[in-house]
Structure 1
Amino acid sequence: MKTSKKNIFLNIAAIFMVAMFFSCTNDTKKVRDFLADKNLPIAVGKDVYHVYKDSGQVTSKLVAPVLNDFTNKGHAYNEFPNGIKIITFENDGKDSTTITGNYALTYTATRVSEIKGNVVVYNHTNKRRLETNQLFWDQREKYFFTEDGFRVTNITDTISGFGFESKQDLSKWLLKDITGQLEVQKEEL
Structure 2
Amino acid sequence: MRKVENVELYYTEKDRVKVKMIAAEFHELDGGDRDFPKGIYMEFYDEFGKMESTLRANQAFFFKKDNLWRGRGKVEVKNIAKNEQLNTEELFWKQTEQRIYTDKFVTIRQQNDVIYGEGLEAKQDMSDYVIKKPTGDFEVEEQ
TM-score (norm 2): 0.94
**1:48 maps to what in 2?**
7
Counterpart Cα distance in 2 of 1:142 and 1:99: 13
RMSD: 1.3
**2:107 maps to what in 1?**
151
Query: 1:161 deviation in Å?
Result: 1.1
Alignment partner of 1:132 is 2:88:
yes
**1:25 maps to what in 2?**
none
Q: Which runs of 5+ in 1 are unaligned?
A: 1-40
Counterpart Cα distance in 1 of 2:11 and 2:142: 44
Q: Deviations over 1:132-152 (max 9, x none)?
A: 000011111011111111101
**Aligned residues with identical type, % of pairs:** 28
* C-alpha contact (below 8 Å) 2:106/2:119 kept by paired residues: yes
TM-score (norm 1): 0.72
**1:62 maps to what in 2?**
21
Greater relative contact order (Cα 8 A, min sep 6): structure 1 or 2?
2
Q: In proportion to residue count, which structure has more strand?
A: 2
* C-alpha contact (below 8 Å) 2:92/2:100 kept by paired residues: yes
Letter in 1 for 2:68: V
Distance 1:131 1:111, change over 3 A: same
Structure 1 ranges of 4+ moved more than 3 A: none
Q: In proportion to residue count, which structure has more helix?
A: 1
Aligned residues: 143
Query: 1:91 deviation in Å?
Result: 4.6
Q: Deviations over 1:3-43 (max 9, x none)?
A: xxxxxxxxxxxxxxxxxxxxxxxxxxxxxxxxxxxxxx1x1
Counterpart Cα distance in 2 of 1:99 and 1:186: 32
